[in-house]
C-alpha cells in the first residue's frame, strides 16, 4: 500500500489516524468511563474477573482467540516482528505454524472452520464478558465465520500506528482513475450493466446491455448493447445479483459462491458545530464507544476542527435509525454548506443524536449547524462491507469468483471475496491477481 501511495504522489497527504485513546469515553449501562478505566475491573459496570489481557473489548477478543487457537498472540507477535524487520523466511515459517494451529483448532467439538465468531466468543467468555464486548466494542458482533475473522486479526499488526489520507480515502481511487484515463482509458458515466449474454460463440465475445440512467439514478429507458472480448466486473455482491445473465455465462458454482459472503449494513451521521465543545471534556481525537444507538463516534483531529462523526452504527444497530428516515432534512438557515453535495440528514435523526451526544458527554451543547447522513443499507448501496459466511472454503471461493466462467474471459474484481473483505488491501490485491493471473499483465514497477 505504501509503495502504491508513493507511486501516486499521495504520501504527503498521510496523517495519523487514532483509534481509542486512554482519555476517550465509554458509556455503558449508564456509567461514563474513560478507556483507561478498563485496566481496573472494580471501576467498570460488568462483573468480570481480572485477566491476563486488558479487560476491555479488545483484550477479551484476544482472550477468545487464544482459547480457540492456542498460542495465537505469541505467533502474531513473532510474525509481525519478522515482517517489520524484513525477514520474509521467518515470517513465512511463523505463518505456516499459525496455519497448522488454526487448521487443527476445535471449538466445542467442532473444527474452527465450521463455527461462527459468536460461537468462539461464547465458548471462551462468560455472560458478563460477552455483554462487555457487545456493548463497548463499537461494532455489532457479526455472525460470520470464525476462522476467517481470526485470519484477519492475525494479519493485523498489534499495537500498530494507523495512518489515513488528509484528503480523504476517496483520493486513492480517484488518483488510480486519473492514471487510468491518462494511460488512454475511457470512462462512460450514467450507464448500468443490466444483462450479459453470449454474442457470436460460446465463451465469448460477450454482449453487454447497458441501461442509461439520469443523475438521480433513474432508468431513462434507453439501452445500449456492445460486444466485448474480455469483461471485468468491478462490482459488489448486491450489484452482481441484479445482473441478468444468459445461461452458461457464469459457471456452475456462481450462485453458491455469490452467497458465500453476507452483507453488513452501516451508516454514518456527520455533524458540524460552531465550536468543538467536546474538547472541554478532555477528548480531542480518536474514538469513543457506547451501548447507546450512536454505538461509536469519532472526533476529527485538529484544534479548530468542528466536525464530529456523531453516530456510526453497523449491523442490526443501523436499523434503529430507520424510524427517523421520514420527515424534513436538517437545515440551519444562513449556515455554511459544510458538507457540499453530501446526502442530507433527517432532522429527527439529528435531534435525537445531538441529545444522545449531550447525554454521553454530560454537557449542554448548542445544536449543530450542518449535518450529513450516509446509509450504505439503502439504494443504490446494498451493504457497507461483507463478511464470510461460516463453512466456506474461502480461498477456493475467492479464486473461482475471480474467474467465474471456466474457459471464458469474464472476471470479478471486488472487495467482497477476499481474505479481508471490505479492506483496501484486499480489494487492490484482488485486482492485482486478476490482472496478473488471468490477463497476463506484468508486475507493476511500484510493487517490486
The answer to whether 124 and 106 have CB atoms below 8 angstroms apart is: no
For the segment 1-6, the average pLDDT, to the nearest whole number, is 90
pLDDT attached to residue 52:
64
Q: Would you tell me how many other CB atoms lie within 10 Å of the CB of residue 111? A: 14
Domain boundaries, the chain: 46-156, 188-263+383-447
Q: What is the DSSP string of 105-131?
A: -EETTEEGGGSBHHHHHHHHS-HHHHH
> Looking up cell 469513543, which residue turns up?
288
In this predicted structure, the answer to whether residue 12 has a pLDDT above a threshold of 80 is: yes
pLDDT of residue 372: 95
Q: How far is CA 392 from CA 114, 115, 245, 388, in A?
A: 8, 11, 24, 8
Residue 39: pLDDT band (50, 70, 90) is: confident
Is the pLDDT at 244 greater than 80? The verdict is yes
Closest Cα to residue 274, out of 332, 330, 352, 329? 332
**Structure letter (DSSP) for residue 116:** B
Say if residues 146 and 117 touch (Cβ distance below 8 Å): yes
Residue-wise pLDDT tens digits, 301-315: 876 689 999 999 999
pLDDT tier, 406 (very low <50, low <70, confident <90, very high otherwise): confident
pLDDT value of position 246: 94
Nearest partner of 4 among 416, 398, 417, 427, judged by Cα? 427
β-strands 110-111, 231-233 pairing? unpaired
Copy the grid coordinates of residue 82: 519478522
Residue 342 is predicted with a pLDDT of: 82
- pLDDT higher than 70, residue 202: no
Mean pLDDT of 97-118: 96
CB distance 390 to 114 below 8 Å = yes
Superfamily of domain 188-263+383-447: FAD/NAD(P)-binding domain (3.50.50.60)
Span of 73-82, 160-169, 181-190, 296-305 with lowest mean pLDDT: 296-305
Confidence band for 18, pLDDT divided at 50, 70 and 90: confident
Other Cβ atoms less than 10 A from the Cβ of 72: the count is 22
Q: Is the pLDDT of residue 201 over 70?
A: no
Centre a 10 Å sphere on the Cβ of residue 344 and count the other Cβ atoms it contains.
Answer: 16
The CA distance from 69 to 143, in Å, is 19
Q: What is the mean pLDDT of residues 348-372?
A: 97
Q: Is residue 203 over pLDDT 60?
A: no
Out of 49-53, 381-385, 396-400, give the one with best mean pLDDT: 396-400
Grid cell locating 168: 480523504
Per-residue pLDDT band at 448 (split at 50, 70, 90): low
Structure confidence by residue, pLDDT tens digits, 40-90: 888 899 998 777 667 899 999 999 999 999 999 999 999 999 999 999 999
> In whole angstroms, what is the distance from residue 170 CA to residue 361 CA?
31
pTM of the predicted protein model: 0.91
Tell me if 154 sits within 8 A of 79, measured CB to CB: yes
Residues 126, 396: Cα–Cα separation, whole Å? 35
Q: How far is CA 97 from the centre of its chain?
A: 28
Contact 118, 143 (CB under 8 A): yes
**Interatomic CA distance for residues 312 and 293, integer angstroms:** 9
Are 421 and 415 in contact by the 8 Å Cβ rule? The answer is: yes
CA distance 270 to 413: 30
In whole angstroms, how far apart are CA 338 and each of 133, 138, 175, 432? 35, 26, 24, 37
Q: How many CB atoms lie within 10 A of CB 337?
A: 8
The residue-averaged pLDDT of 29-42 equals 91
309: nearest Cα among 300, 317, 318: 300
pLDDT at 265: 96
Which of the residue ranges 35-49, 226-240, 264-278 would you say has the lowest mean pLDDT?
A: 35-49
Place of cell 454530560: 362
Backbone angles phi, psi at 194, to 5 degrees: -120, -15
pLDDT of residue 204: 63
Amino acid at each position: 500500500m505504501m509503495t502504491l501511495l508513493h507511486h501516486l504522489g499521495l504520501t504527503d497527504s498521510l496523517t495519523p489516524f487514532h483509534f481509542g485513546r486512554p482519555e476517550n469515553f465509554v458509556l455503558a449501562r449508564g456509567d461514563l468511563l474513560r478507556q483507561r478505566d478498563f485496566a481496573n475491573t472494580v471501576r467498570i459496570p460488568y462483573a468480570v474477573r481480572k485477566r491476563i489481557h486488558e479487560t476491555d473489548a479488545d483484550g477479551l477478543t484476544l482472550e477468545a482467540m487464544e482459547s480457540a487457537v492456542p498460542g495465537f498472540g505469541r505467533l502474531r507477535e513473532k510474525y509481525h516482528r519478522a515482517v517489520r524487520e524484513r525477514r520474509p523466511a521467518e515470517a513465512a515459517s511463523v505463518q505456516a505454524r499459525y496455519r497448522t494451529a488454526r487448521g487443527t483448532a476445535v471449538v466445542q467439538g467442532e473444527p474452527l472452520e465450521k463455527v461462527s465468531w459468536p460461537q468462539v466468543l461464547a465458548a471462551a467468555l462468560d455472560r458478563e464478558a460477552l455483554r462487555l464486548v457487545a456493548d463497548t466494542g463499537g461494532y455489532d458482533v457479526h455472525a460470520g465465520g470464525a476462522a476467517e475473522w481470526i485470519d484477519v486479526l492475525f494479519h493485523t499488526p498489534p499495537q500498530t500506528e494507523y495512518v489515513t489520507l488528509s484528503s480523504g480515502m476517496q483520493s486513492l481511487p480517484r488518483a488510480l482513475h486519473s492514471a487510468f484515463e491518462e494511460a488512454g482509458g475511457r470512462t462512460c458515466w450514467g450507464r448500468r450493466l443490466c444483462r450479459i449474454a453470449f454474442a457470436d460463440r460460446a465463451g465469448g465475445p460477450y454482449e453487454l446491455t447497458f441501461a442509461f440512467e439520469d443523475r438521480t439514478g433513474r432508468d431513462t429507458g434507453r439501452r445500449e448493447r456492445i460486444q466485448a472480448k474480455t469483461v471485468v466486473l468491478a462490482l459488489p455482491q448486491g450489484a452482481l445479483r441484479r445482473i441478468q445473465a444468459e445461461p452458461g455465462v457464469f459457471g456452475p458454482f456462481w450462485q453458491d459462491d455469490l452467497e458465500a459472503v453476507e452483507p453488513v449494513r452501516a451508516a454514518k451521521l456527520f455533524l458540524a458545530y460552531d465550536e468543538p465543545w467536546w474538547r472541554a471534556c478532555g477528548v480531542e481525537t480518536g474514538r469513543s464507544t457506547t451501548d447507546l444507538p450512536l454505538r461509536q463516534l469519532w472526533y476529527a483531529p485538529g484544534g479548530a476542527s468542528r466536525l464530529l462523526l456523531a453516530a456510526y452504527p453497523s449491523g442490526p444497530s443501523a436499523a434503529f435509525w430507520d424510524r427517523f428516515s421520514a420527515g424534513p432534512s436538517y437545515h440551519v438557515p444562513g449556515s455554511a454548506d459544510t458538507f457540499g453535495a453530501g446526502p442530507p440528514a433527517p432532522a429527527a435523526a439529528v435531534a435525537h443524536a445531538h441529545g444522545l451526544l449531550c447525554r454521553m458527554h454530560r454537557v449542554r451543547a448548542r445544536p449543530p449547524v450542518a449535518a450529513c447522513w450516509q446509509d450504505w443499507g439503502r439504494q443504490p448501496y446494498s451493504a457497507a462491507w461483507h463478511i464470510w459466511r461460516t463453512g466456506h472454503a474461502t480461498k477456493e471461493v475467492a479464486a473461482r469468483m475471480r474467474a467465474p466462467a471456466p474457459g471464458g474471459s469474464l472476471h470479478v474484481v471486488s472487495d467482497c471475496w477476499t481474505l479481508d473483505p471490505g479492506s483496501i488491501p484486499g480489494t487492490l490485491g484482488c485486482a492485482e491477481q486478476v490482472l496478473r493471473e488471468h490477463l497476463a499483465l506484468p508486475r507493476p514497477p511500484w510493487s517490486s
